[in-house]
Structure 1
Amino acid sequence: MDPLEQLVAQIVGLSDTDIPRLLGILKASDDLLRADWTRLSSVLSQLDPFKHSLGFLYILEASTAGPTTKEQAETVVPIITSFIDACAAEQIRSIPDKFISLCKRFKDQVVLLETPIRGVAPMLAALKKLQTSTEHLTPLHPEFLMLCLLAKCYKTGLSILEDDIFEVDQPKDLFLYCYYGGMICIGQKHFQKALELLHIVVTAPMSTMNAIAVEAYKKYILVSLIRHGQFSTSLPKYASSTAQRNLKSFCQPYIELANTYGTGKIEGLETYVQSNAETFESDNNFGLVKQVVSSNYKRNIQRLTQTYLTLSLQDIANTVKLNGPKEAEMHVLQMIQDGEIYATINQKDGMVRFLEDPEQYKTCEMIEHIDSSIQRIMALSKKLTVMDERISCDQAYLSKVGRERPRYDMDDFDTVPTKFTI
């Protein structure tokens, strides 16, 4: 019997009875599949992607290993999509590297076809099948978020950013997950969540400087200005020494932007942005920089609420350097809608009345929100206790630290993220 036909017969015969033995046979047949890849497409028709998921995966991965043209991608993409949808999770988890390789190749093919949206749903299904729990960060998480960014499916990307992550296979996956996740949150104007994710990238352990951390730091500066109206160049003590020493030198134009922003003078800020527009555009951050400029107007309006109870739209325009009362009214209305200020506008005389925060923190919705936050913190505390006990008993850890354990003061922890969801 032909070796390839014999392999197919073994796949069919062992898929229901002896997966470990089949896995050994498939691993030993890797060279055969690579050498006979031109026949593999026809072999797939003899297999069921659900019943024979392991064998189907091996053959499909081998058949797509070479360079792919657009015409070939058009044929292969639907096959991989169908396989991801139908495959049995318990079988593909027995050889995760093959499944990850196939899915990454699938991502490259939909990008090659310039139709990233075709990969969003299949990649989400793939990572859920690969996950052992929602706390597990797989190498497919960043690939999924990248496709969401390319396809502008930001809301779909947000769906996985709500999960608490405690298990990470590779550090690079965490860096990319948080970086792409931060970009998705920026796209949805969820700036606080974006700050938390970018903060993780910037402060994560690193022995050498990496491009992901540098790009994350640039966006971290911009988002800090938009969300809080200020930025501190001091990194927390638990950030790596590599980041402490090198990040600022890679991001000087952004640090200067933050310093200019801090003066509150819109003319100087706009001048600085225009003179450095080429730098910001080359970093693909110019749109975010424009939001920084816009937020400077908002911060100046917010400062007025701390001094005045009522103010005319014309006075607001003059103080904040806007082009007349109409533009001032547009800014004030947008800030009221976004909950950034509390005010009413009298259309008759063009007066703005600034109000106190109406939230009394005693509604059922607020109580439920506070309760859910407390429950989440308690669950996180238990998880950290278990992890601490596990690490404390780890022989490799104990051999390195000996009796000297790190001691941290309260000042070692900063207050930038209000949550630690990743």
Structure 2
Amino acid sequence: MNQNINSVESVVAQIQGLSSSADDVTHLHGLLKQSEELLQSESTRLAPFLAELDPSKHSLGYLYILEACTTAPKAKEQANELVLSIARFLNDCAAEQIHLAPDKFVSVCKRFKDQVMLLETPLRGVAPLLTAIRKLQSSSSEHLTSLHPDFLLLCLLAKCYKTGLCVLEHDIFEVDQPTDFFLYCYYGGMICIGQKRYRKALELLHNVVTAPMSTINAIAVEAYKKYILISLIHLGQFSTSLPKYASSVAQRNFKNFSQPYIELVTCYGNGKISELEAYVQANREKFEIDHNLGLVKQVVLSMYKQNIQRLTQTYLTLSLQDIANTVQLNSPKEAEMHVLQMIQNGEIYATINQKDGMVRFLEDPEQYKTCEMIEQIDSSIQRIMTLSKRLTALDEHMSCDSQYLAKAGRERQRFDFDDFDTTPQKFNI
């Protein structure tokens, strides 16, 4: 076969002739690499050639031409046609072929995301990007790709929170780029907040706040602000001291960039609704600029819940009027609505006597002996065992890593000898 590639037509011919077997595709990959400069120079006239290729059979060649075709900026009227072409490709392409050029595949997907945002139709990008993630991950759902943050961003903009949760349910153990991890956890935390899955949101935001960082970044600062608010909403408390394993950069700088939120924590800790509401009103503009005013209002509402929960630790029965007076609610009816909502959410266990307006607080009815609870406990145990095996394997890998051992040896002199375990003799540091 003639392999003198000096025109787009000859490139297309090679793609059509070398896409039937794995060996042919590997050979084609080398030819396509040699043709990149040609394709880039002809980028403005490549679109019609895509019609001559089948994205399911000629995936690698289609990808190269599509990537070159999308290099130049597109007007809004051209974006719709481009979105359709890329969506079709993402749905039909063969994973084993696009794995030969993952960088180009990611590049096309990111341009696809840009185009649907240009069209202000983020919903159109959700399903194709989810498909792209699955194909890029191949056999492992534990791999965080560069497409995860873009997918979650589109889910947020399109309010497809449940679709976003489907990737957040998987544990992540492999990360391509640190920035991807920051954005993945931040957008994921916002999706969980939208679904009121505060425990998972705290986990993701905690990952951002405590992740290694050499310099402060805007993503981490915004995550820290939301981390404070969700902690108050879900836990009713927040410690301004970060864990020891958080970076020194984070420990030094977060408070400086989040002063209104730190003061909100202090005000919340005083337990006085009137003071908290006055503080929120005085700093309303600051919270609005951060797009956090809605969460701040939920913080205020959570104080009512926290005060009601404290009553359950002291009293067995209490009237709605007494609850309203103690918690600083306007009326017994308002107190009843708060109590009913908390019962429905499983935050307290109580019954309300409608005749005399008395609330009876109960013990947690969970006996931990149902089939569902046993399955849940077993699932948690299995997950912990899997994580333990991974940590053991990672520890063994690090103990044999020459770069890590060399760095640990250089830094040893900066600390007391007792801060480190004795180094195995077989390692020459």
TM-score band, normalised by the shorter chain?
over 0.9
Give ranges in structure 1 of 5+ residues lacking alignment: 410-422
- Are 1:81 and 2:87 matched, yes or no? yes
Q: Following the alignment from structure 1 to structure 2, what is the Cα–Cα distance between the partners of residues 227 and 250?
A: 23
Write the deviation string for residues 239-282 of structure 1: whole angstroms up to 9, x where unpaired: 11101111111101001001100111000000000111111011
Look up the match of 1:313. 320
> What amino acid does structure 2 have at the position aligned with 1:375?
Q
Query: Which of 266, 277, 282 is the matching residue for 2:284?
Result: 277
1:31 paired with 2:37, answer yes
Are 1:195 and 2:199 matched, yes or no? no
3-state SS in 2 of match to 1:345:
strand
| Separation (CA, whole Å) in 1 of partners of 2:74 and 2:301 | 45
Q: Which moved more, 1:273-282 or 1:65-74?
A: 65-74
1:249 counterpart (242, 248, 256)? 256
| Equivalent residue number for residue 12 of structure 2 | 8
The one-letter code matched in structure 2 to 1:78 is L
Decide which of 370, 378, 381 is 2:385's aligned counterpart: 378
When structure 1 is superposed on structure 2, of 313-322 and 248-257 the one drifting more is 313-322
Contact conserved, 2:44 with 2:72, CA < 8 A, in 1?
no
Could you tell me which amino acid in structure 2 is paired with residue 16 of structure 1? S
What is the deviation of 1:95?
0.7
Question: Which 4+ stretches in 1 moved above 4 angstroms?
Answer: 403-409
- Residue number in structure 2 paired with 1:71: 77
> For 2:52, what is the secondary structure of its paired residue?
coil
Q: Residues 202-225 of structure 1: CA distance to partner in whole angstroms, max 9, x if unpaired?
A: 000000000110000000000000
Q: TM-score, normalised by structure 2?
A: 0.93
Paired residues of 2:43 and 2:72 also in contact (CA < 8 A): no
- Which stretch shows the higher mean deviation, 46-55 or 388-397? 388-397
Tell me whether 1:303 sits opposite 2:310 in the alignment.
Answer: yes
Find the counterpart in structure 2 of residue 394 from structure 1: 401
The answer for the alignment partner of 2:48 in structure 1 is 42
Q: Report the equivalent of 1:109.
A: 115
The two structures have a TM-score, normalised by structure 1, of 0.94
**How many pairs were matched up?**
409
- The separation in 2 between residues aligned to 1:404 and 1:385, in whole angstroms, is 24
- Displacement of 1:349 after TM fit? 1.3
In structure 2, what is the Cα distance between the partners aligned to 1:403 and 1:250? Answer: 34
The AA in structure 2 aligned to 1:337 is Q
SS at match of 2:351: strand
Structure 2 gap ranges (5+):
421-429
Taking only the aligned residue pairs, the percentage that are identical comes to: 73
Select which of 164, 174, 186 maps to 2:171. 164
Question: For residues 255 and 70 of structure 2, what CA distance do their matches in structure 1 show?
Answer: 43
User: What is the match of residue 62 of structure 1?
Assistant: 68
Looking at structure 1, the residues matched to 51 and 271 of structure 2 have their Cα atoms a distance apart, in angstroms, of 67
Q: Secondary structure at the match of 1:402?
A: helix
Q: Structure 2 matches for 1:147-186, cutoff 5 A?
A: 147-186=154-193
Task: Provide the alpha-carbon RMSD of the alignment.
Answer: 1.5
Match of 2:212 among 198, 205, 208: 205
Deviation at 1:27, TM superposition (A): 1.7
Q: SS state of the match for residue 45, structure 1?
A: helix
**Which SS does the other structure have where 1:158 is aligned?**
helix
1:173-231 Cα offsets, whole Å, 9 max, x none, are: 00000000000010001101101100010000000000110000000000000111000
- Separation of aligned partners in 2, 1:30 and 1:128: 27
| Secondary structure at 2:46 match in 1 | helix
Q: CA deviation at 1:408?
A: 7.3
Question: How many Å separate the matches in 2 of 1:127 and 1:84?
Answer: 10
- SS of equivalent residue, structure 1 residue 189: coil
1:220 aligns with 2:217: no
Q: Which amino acid aligns with 2:405?
A: L
Q: Distance in 2 between matches of 1:385 and 1:232?
A: 31
Give, in whole Å, the separation in 1 of the partners of 2:274 and 2:115. Answer: 47
Distance 1:198 1:408 in 2: 30
